[in-house]
């Protein structure tokens, strides 16, 4: 049975994946801090995305652009004029909502009042701040609402220095900020989040082919990391919901407890962004093709995913409960590449005699994988804890280890145990774990 949202929220808090931000001060809605396990999970998600999108390819390079950019960037991109959501306010409890997210457009979900909403008005989603010592209209800047524009304004810089010919992509992972009206569903929709975006520049005549390619390639990434295919679907945007820059967009939706919802978007941005920045900046952002001796503005295909939302989906997908010898076992069957801890070292006892062997085992494992030495509670409880946080393997050091210099390695999913020499432990795990 699939977990509900409360189950994952409770697991995340209990085990150190995610904490409410500023919790000792009552919390800050729509802001979260990632604990020891959460920061490892996010790092692994980003590492696997980067490995797939950049390091594993010849046609994509990386970039890390600034969070604060010239306000002209956001004028040219259309965000200043058009990056907004409709907002309605309940005139009884004064809570505000996006009308398209209301289950009943005539009833307030907070106080239950009927027909108490104001007429919709547009709400600017970009967060403003001032750059420099004086607050003024001239010094107003924005925290970027997406990472994509940093790629577009660096198109010529990257193409020239990386010496790339079409088709090629520029990838980026970084923070973005949106002043969401109704942040919701834990870390699914927040005001501060991380994006994984890639802009793939290609010849206009080839853009449809590359759009179809990236659509399938991105779905394959989730499946390769163990996500159930029955929980994924494609959904094409209707003409009434396409972004101003998009000719065609598909979402990869995941089956969350509240239904299918967006996990990643693949957009055909045409040549909108490069032309807009060329117009507003006065710089030439076209591409000269030496093979055909022509100059043109490339089209762009953009796969864009949220780090936090992706991590949440993997938590839902990996969560399983099963009965083992009359007791319920909770296990996160995360792909080993995503698991925060790869190997747990579990001494059978806290007694000092095992300390030296435990240290030897940990020292051999630590250069290769993220490990945890867990000494508290019974060995059964420690196995259950490691199952619950998704640790693929546990290495148990017992009193026999003092004599035979061997340890017991336990597999998370099968619970099978192998007794192996400590000298062969790293080789044994190398065959089963990513490094």
Q: How many CB atoms lie within 10 A of CB 232?
A: 19
**Where does 8-93 show beta strands of DSSP type E?**
18-20, 32-34, 60-62, 84-89
d(CA 339, CA 329): 18
Predicted pLDDT at 128:
86
Q: How many CB atoms lie within 10 A of CB 195?
A: 20
Map tokens 């089209």 to a residue.
299
d(CA 314, CA 333): 9
The 8-class DSSP code of residue 68 comes to: B
Class of domain 5-72+143-315: alpha beta
Q: How many CB atoms lie within 10 A of CB 92?
A: 14
Predicted pLDDT at 124:
66
Map tokens 């088709």 to a residue.
167
Kindly report the length of the chain.
435
d(CA 125, CA 385): 41
Q: CA geometry: angle at 42 spanning 39 and 45, to 5°?
A: 150
Where along the chain do its domains lie?
A: 5-72+143-315, 341-430
| Neighbouring residues of 314: CB distance < 8 A, sequence distance ≥ 6 | 41, 45, 225, 226, 227, 334, 338
d(CA 173, CA 305): 10
Predicted pLDDT at 386:
97
DSSP of 218-247, one letter per residue?
HHHHHHHTT--GGGEEEEEPPTTT--TT-S
Predicted pLDDT at 237:
94
Q: Which two tokens stand for residue 142?
A: 């924005």
Same topology for domains 5-72+143-315 and 341-430, yes or no? no
Q: Which two tokens stand for residue 434?
A: 């990513």
Asked whether the CA dihedral 255, 260, 261, 262 is positive or negative, the reply is positive
d(CA 226, CA 317): 8
Predicted pLDDT at 115:
81
Domain 341-430 is found in CATH 3.40.50.800:
yes
Kindly compute the dihedral angle of the four CA atoms of residues 340, 345, 346, 347, in this order, to the nearest 10 degrees. Answer: -160
Helix (H, G, I), strand (E, B) or coil at 421: strand
Predicted pLDDT at 139:
85
What is the b/e burial string over 102-131, where b = at least 16 CB atoms within 10 angstroms of the residue's CB? eeeeebbeeeeeeebbeeeeeebbbbeeee
Nearest to 346 by CA among 393, 389, 390: 393
Nearest to 285 by CA among 73, 293, 276, 294: 276
Q: Which two tokens stand for residue 99?
A: 């009308």
pLDDT by position in tens, the chain (length 435): 689 999 999 999 999 999 999 998 988 877 899 999 999 999 999 999 999 999 999 999 999 999 999 989 988 998 887 666 676 888 888 777 777 778 888 889 888 888 888 877 766 678 888 888 877 777 889 999 999 999 999 999 999 999 999 999 999 999 999 887 777 899 999 999 999 999 999 999 999 999 999 999 999 999 999 999 999 999 999 988 878 888 899 999 999 999 999 999 999 999 999 999 999 999 999 999 988 899 999 999 999 999 999 999 999 999 999 988 878 899 999 999 999 999 999 999 888 888 999 999 999 999 999 999 999 888 999 999 999 999 999 999 999 999 999 999 999 999 999 999 999 999 999 999 987
């Amino acid at each position: 049975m699939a977990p509900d949202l409360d189950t994952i929220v409770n697991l995340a808090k209990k085990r150190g994946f995610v904490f409410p931000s500023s919790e000792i001060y009552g919390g800050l809605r729509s802001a979260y801090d990632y604990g020891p396990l959460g920061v490892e999970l996010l790092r692994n998600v980003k590492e696997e995305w980067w490995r797939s999108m950049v390091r594993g390819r010849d046609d994509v390079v990386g970039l890390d652009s600034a969070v604060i950019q010239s306000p002209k960037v956001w004028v040219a991109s259309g965000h200043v004029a058009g990056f907004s959501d409709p907002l309605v306010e309940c005139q009884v409890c004064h809570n505000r909502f996006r009308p398209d997210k209301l289950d009943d457009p005539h009833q307030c979900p907070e106080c239950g009042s009927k027909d108490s909403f104001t007429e919709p008005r547009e709400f600017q989603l970009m967060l403003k701040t001032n750059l420099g010592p004086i607050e003024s209209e001239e010094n107003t800047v924005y925290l970027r609402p997406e990472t994509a524009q940093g790629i577009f304004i660096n198109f010529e810089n990257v193409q020239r220095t990386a010496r790339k010919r079409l088709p090629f992509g520029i990838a980026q992972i970084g923070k973005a900020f949106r002043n969401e009206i109704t942040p919701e569903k834990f870390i699914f929709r927040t005001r501060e989040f991380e994006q994984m975006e890639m802009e793939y520049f290609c010849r206009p005549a080839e853009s449809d082919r590359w759009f179809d390619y990236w659509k399938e390639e991105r779905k394959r990434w989730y499946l390769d990391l163990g996500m159930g295919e029955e929980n994924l679907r494609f959904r094409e945007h209707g003409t009434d919901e396409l972004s101003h820059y998009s000719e065609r967009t598909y979402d990869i939706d995941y089956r969350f407890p509240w239904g299918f919802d967006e996990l990643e978007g693949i957009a055909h941005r045409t040549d909108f962004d490069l032309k807009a920045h060329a117009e507003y900046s006065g710089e030439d952002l076209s591409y000269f093709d030496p093979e055909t001796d022509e100059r043109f503005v490339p089209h762009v295909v953009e796969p864009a995913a949220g780090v936090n939302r992706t991590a949440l989906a993997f938590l839902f997908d990996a969560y399983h409960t099963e009965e083992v010898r009359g007791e319920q076992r909770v296990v996160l069957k995360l792909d080993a590449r995503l698991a925060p801890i790869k190997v747990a070292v579990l001494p059978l006892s806290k007694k000092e005699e095992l300390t030296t062997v435990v240290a030897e085992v940990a020292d051999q494992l630590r250069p290769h994988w993220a490990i945890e030495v867990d000494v508290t509670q019974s060995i059964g409880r420690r196995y259950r804890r490691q199952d619950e946080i998704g640790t693929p393997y546990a290495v148990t050091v017992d009193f026999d280890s003092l004599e035979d210099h061997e340890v017991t390695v336990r597999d998370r999913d099968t619970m099978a145990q192998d007794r192996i020499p400590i000298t062969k432990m790293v080789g044994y795990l190398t065959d089963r774990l990513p490094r």
